[in-house]
Amino acid sequence: MNKCVFLDRDGVINKDNPNYTYRIESFEILPGVLEALEKLKAAGYLLVIVTNQSGIAQGIYNQQQMEACHAYFQKMCSNRIDHFYFCPHHPTVTASIARKPGTLMFEKAIAKFNIDVTQSWMVGDRGRDIIPARQLGIRTIQVGDEIETGERADLQVERLLEAVPIILT
């Protein structure tokens, strides 16, 4: 079985934008992210992004724009991401069990990559990232402090790079 670090995208990998990040020129990779991914990959972790991309359902941007951002990020991180799972739905437009805090994106990755959840981690910046991981028995780390008290992760850091020594020990 494989060990994995699941990563939220906006707010963990790139600067979060309340108006959505869907243009390459606006895709600002956060400090330390590339180094963190390099260290995690070198330690044998699969790296899987699980991200809600509800701006697609809302007509703000399209899937091709999102995929262009992902391709750009893959180039910048030397193709270290093993897979991007995204949910394009938004509850005001169409419901989906794939949307976090649902567990479907995680479950797809677990099945596809034969992931051992007891050796895996989720790093997110919102309760909707932490809830599904916790339901599946995945340890959790939150970036920042904007998570509601009842949904806080097991551990807290300011940036992804600070999570690396925690994950590796």
SS3 state at 39: helix
Q: What is the pLDDT of residue 148?
A: 78
| String of DSSP letters for 93-139 | T---TTSTTSSHHHHHHHHHHTB-GGG-EEEESSHHHHHHHHHTT-E
Q: What is the pLDDT of residue 138?
A: 98
Whether residue 158 contacts residue 41, with contact meaning beta carbons closer than 8 Å, is answered with no
Q: What is the pLDDT of residue 119?
A: 98
Polymer length of the chain: 169
Whether residue 123 contacts residue 160, with contact meaning beta carbons closer than 8 Å, is answered with yes
Q: pLDDT tier at 126 (50, 70, 90 boundaries)?
A: very high
Q: What is the pLDDT of residue 96?
A: 86
Catalytic residues: 8, 10
Average pLDDT, the chain: 95
Distance of alpha carbon 79 from alpha carbon 126, whole angstroms: 25
Q: Look at the chain and report how many structural domains it folds into.
A: 1
Kindly report the pTM of this predicted structure: 0.96
Residue 32 has pLDDT above 90, yes or no: yes
Q: Name the strand (E) or helix (H) holding 146.
A: none
- Round the CA-based radius of gyration of the chain to a whole number and report it: 15
The two three-digit tokens of residue 106, written as one number: 């995680």
Q: What is the CATH number of the domain that holds 126?
A: 3.40.50.1000
Residue 79 has pLDDT above 90, yes or no: yes
Q: What percent of the chain has pLDDT over 70?
A: 100
> Quick one: DSSP state of residue 40?
H
Q: pLDDT tier at 93 (50, 70, 90 boundaries)?
A: confident
| Amino acid of residue 42 | A
| Amino acid of residue 44 | G
Q: Name the strand (E) or helix (H) holding 74.
A: helix 63-76
Which has the higher per-residue pLDDT, 112 or 94?
112
Question: Smallest Cα–Cα separation from 52: which of 88, 84, 16?
Answer: 88
Structural domain containing residue 157: 4-168
Q: pLDDT tier at 145 (50, 70, 90 boundaries)?
A: confident
Residue 90 has pLDDT above 90, yes or no: no
Q: Mean of the pLDDT values across residues 149-166?
A: 94
Residue 10 has pLDDT above 90, yes or no: yes
Q: What is the pLDDT of residue 125?
A: 96
Question: Smallest Cα–Cα separation from 13: which of 71, 83, 98, 73?
Answer: 73
Residue 63 has pLDDT above 80, yes or no: yes
Q: What is the pLDDT of residue 34?
A: 98
